[in-house]
Amino acid sequence: MFNRENAPRRRTDRVRGAVYAALGPVVRASWAAYKSLGAIGPDSAAGRRFGSFGRGSIVGFPYDTIMNEQSIHIGADTMISGHVVLSAGWGPNHRGLHDRVIVIGDRCLIGRGSCITGHRLVEIGDDVWTGHHVHITDMNHGYEDLSIPISMQNQPEEPVRIGDGSWIGHNAVVLPGVTIGRHVVVGAGAVVTSDLPDFSVAVGSPARVIRRHDPDHGWVKVDPTAGTETTGVAASWGASLER
């Protein structure tokens, strides 16, 4: 039954729906163009400011901070997702900064919202992928001197290296002085404070190896408290990674 009191509301809803239907595609197309135009590629003026920028690579837009690009090197066919920080040195125009401070290899994927901060060297190999909001840094703050704010105390920079083919999970943190080997899985939310060997799976805070690849038995469990293998051989990645 027609309700005279509800008629104005229905007309308003129809008008609003028509406006949304007409403007929605325009807004989405505009947003896509905005991101495309703002992205950094090897042939753009922004890309040419990098130390090197490989063919087929891209830094997504919007990005958060990109500082001292001349000391940042990106390989070929690598994707740096949006809202990422690539920061070399203490501040803009850092005097005496090394030519190669952040080095990212070929075919890498750096997840959305991640932060790579290098003062001495952060070196990421080929085919390394990260989840979102991963933090990788070669420096940290000290706290020992009670008369100085922690923000003003700095520990020595120590190089960070991540080997080819590794995967760094969502929200993981990689701290100074760490070497992560080849084909390593770092679980989501892990905090890596010490070296991880090739062909291993590490989880937790601090990260501990829970699986490793044995040439004779495949993927085997490791007791993270003792550093020794346990019984049970994993037949595949799917079977080896406990959910």
Torsion of CA 214, 171, 89, 58, to 10 degrees: 90
Which residues lie closer than 8 Å to 212 by C-beta, 6 or more apart? 197, 199, 200, 201, 219, 220, 222, 229
Question: Which of 99, 130, 125 is CA-nearest to residue 114?
Answer: 130
Point out the catalytic residue in the list 98, 132, 141, 183.
141
Residue 217 a catalytic site member: no
Residues identified as active-site: 141
